Amino acid sequence: MKYLLIIALLNTLVFGKIITIIDNGVKRKISIPTPTFQARALGDKKEKKELIIAFNKKINILEFAKKYNLELKRKIGKKYYIFKNTSSQKDIELMQTIMSQEKNLIKTIRPNWGFGFKAR
């Protein structure tokens, strides 16, 4: 059993990639497990590039989208929005930019890649 745990840990360290998201105001680190999923998630293939963002307070959504080269796709829930990433940045890079510049405004920001990355 110990050997399986060690092998799984080493596999994650060698092949995995860890990214930071904000979930309900708390910074969390999540792992992108396999190289195939990394390629899909990080935009190396032609996949949809979308972000799920929730805000702490009311803002002008269109101005926010214009500032970060986003396109509002749809609203889900009360304060959750799905944005299409139309910028030249990858999802992770754009998330880091938004997290650093809009600390007090963002309640949740995460990629909309599927596999459990859905708004609650």
Helix then strand then coil, % of the chain, to nearest 5: 30, 30, 35
CB crowding 75-111: b at 16 or more within 10 Å, else e: eeeebbbbbbbeeeebbbebbeebeeebeeebbbbbb
pLDDT of residue 23: 76
- pLDDT tens column, 1-35: 677 667 666 665 566 677 777 777 777 777 766 55
- pLDDT tens column, 39-57: 555 555 555 688 999 998 8
pTM over 0.75, yes/no: no
